[in-house]
Structure 1
Amino acid sequence: MTSFLGNLLGGLLKFVFDMVSSIGTESELLSYYGIAIVLTTIIFKFILLPISLHQSRSTKKMNELQPKIKEIQNKYKNDPQTQNAKMMELYKEHNYNPASGCLILLIQFPIIIAFFNVLRDPIRFVFKDPNIYNAINKGFLWIPNLEQPDPYLWGLPLLAALTTFLQSRLMTSNIEANPQAESTQKMMNIFLPAMIFMAARSFAAGIGVYWVIGNIFQIIQQLISNRSLGKIKEETR
């Protein structure tokens, strides 16, 4: 499955690379390969946009139901069986599936892994011929070679960590949770960017470019989504 998706996404990256390389003259700082990764990432995120929007709507719906969920939990805290039945009634009444968020993540996961594999092994999935891949310019901005890790810690590793932190904060800014869940989320908001920072130090820089551009796309999407949610809340007051 991952190999099949890898060939599809690799074909998309090769198509974009061919399109970009047929236009204008390649800049020393902006290689065709680097530009193709950026554009393919954006296209890739647009392809996943319906799934991401569905996930955002599911999160918003869960947030809206939180007061009623807490009420049921407090009212039937000594009767787990009735509590579960009342929760199921609540979900059915509001047409909400609590498993939908996990299902969406399961759909996205193999696609994202496949795209990682494409950038990790571009000869196999994109260019097919090692001679073609070895001949192209792999530099991008301050990065001398997208095949190798970024030599500067303040570059992609830091950008990857910062954009991951911002995306995580924005995703949870409109979610009401109990103190324990909030504490866990705060720890994740620190732990995940730190983990991404360490990983980006060893990943090929091409994967780092994909991660940063993907995060920026998600941040813009989340800002628009949060703004829309804020307007809806004001109108319903």
Structure 2
Amino acid sequence: MTAFLGNILGGLLKFIYDMVSMIGTEPANFSFYAMAIIITTVIFKLILLPVSLHQSKSSKKMNEIQPKMKEIQTKYKNDPQTAQAKMAELYKEHKYNPASGCLVLLIQLPIILAFFKVMGNPTTFAFKDPAVYEAMNKTFFWIKNLNNPDPYLWGLPLLAAATTYLQSVTMTSANTDPQAQATQRMMNMFLPIMIFMAARGFAAGLALYWVISNIFSIIQQIISNKSLGKIKEEN
């Protein structure tokens, strides 16, 4: 599945590169390849936008009903059948599907993995002629070749970690219970560190994809949070 999707996304990257390379003279420090990665990432995120918005709404709904779920769990802790029935009533009343979050993840995951395949193996999925790919300019400001890891820790690895942290923060709700908040805080610290360490060994093109993807998600989440907040106030 990921190979099939990789060919599709690789074809999109190649198409965008061909279109961008027709605009004129290539800037010395901002290659057409870097532009193609950025544009393809934005298009990729736009394709997933309906799924991401559904996930945001589902998470918001989950946080809203979580206090009532805790009440049911506490009140019927010795009666699992009644607790299950009350949970089902609560889900129906608030039109919440507990499986929706998993479904969204199952839809997104193969596409994300496929995009990682494309960025990690561009000559397999996008640029079929290795000689042509090797001859391409792959600069991105301070990075001479996006095929190689960023030579500076303060560059894309740090940006990847920082944007991962900001994305996690924007997705954190104040309505979650204390235990969930503690877990979220730990993840907010651990995940950026993990991404920073991984990005040091990534091809810089992958790290660039990750940074642009995170920035898009942060903006999307901020807009979504404001929109969902307004809807809640109107109701």
Q: Which bracket does the TM-score occupy, shorter chain normalised?
A: over 0.9
Listed as ranges, the matches of 1:42-81 within 5 Å are: 42-81=42-81
Query: Is the 8 Å Cα contact of residues 149 and 201 (structure 2) preserved in structure 1?
Result: yes
Letter in 2 for 1:57: K
Deviation per CA, 1:99-131: give whole Å up to 9, x if none: 110111111111001000101111111110011
1:121-200 to 2 correspondences below 5 Å: 121-172=121-172, 174-200=173-199
When normalised by structure 1's length, the TM-score is 0.96
When residues 189 and 226 of structure 1 are mapped into structure 2, their CA distance, relative to the original with a 3 A threshold, is same
1:3 is matched with 3
- After superposing the two structures, state which structure 1 stretch, 76-85 or 3-12, moved more: 76-85
Q: Is 1:226 matched with 2:229?
A: no
8 Å Cα contact 1:20/1:36 also seen in 2: yes
Contact 1:60 / 1:175 at 8 angstroms: preserved in 2? no
Q: Which has the larger displacement, 76-85 or 15-24?
A: 76-85
Q: Is the 8 A contact 2:67 2:177 kept in 1?
A: no
Letter in 1 for 2:220: Q
Specify the code of the residue in structure 1 equivalent to 2:191: L
* One-letter amino acid of the structure 1 residue matched with residue 95 of structure 2: N
Letter in 2 for 1:12: L
Deviations 1:168-220 (A, max 9, x none): 01001x35222111111100000000000000000000000000000000000
- In the alignment, structure 1 segments of 5+ residues that lack a partner are none
Report the more deviating stretch, 119-128 or 67-76. 67-76
Q: Deviations over 1:73-95 (max 9, x none)?
A: 22212222211111012112322
Question: Is the 2:170–2:221 Cα contact (8 Å) retained in structure 1?
Answer: yes
Unmatched segments (≥5 aa) in structure 2: none
Secondary structure in 1 matching 2:146:
coil
Q: Which amino acid aligns with 2:146?
A: L
TM-score normalised by structure 2 residue count = 0.97
Using the alignment, how far apart are the partners of 1:64 and 1:178 within structure 2?
11
Show structure 1 runs of 4+ deviating over 2 A.
Answer: 92-95, 229-236
C-alpha distance after superposition, 1:125-177 (max 9, x if no partner): 111001110110011111111000000000000000000000001001x3522
Q: Please tell me the root mean square deviation across aligned C-alpha atoms, in Å.
A: 1.1
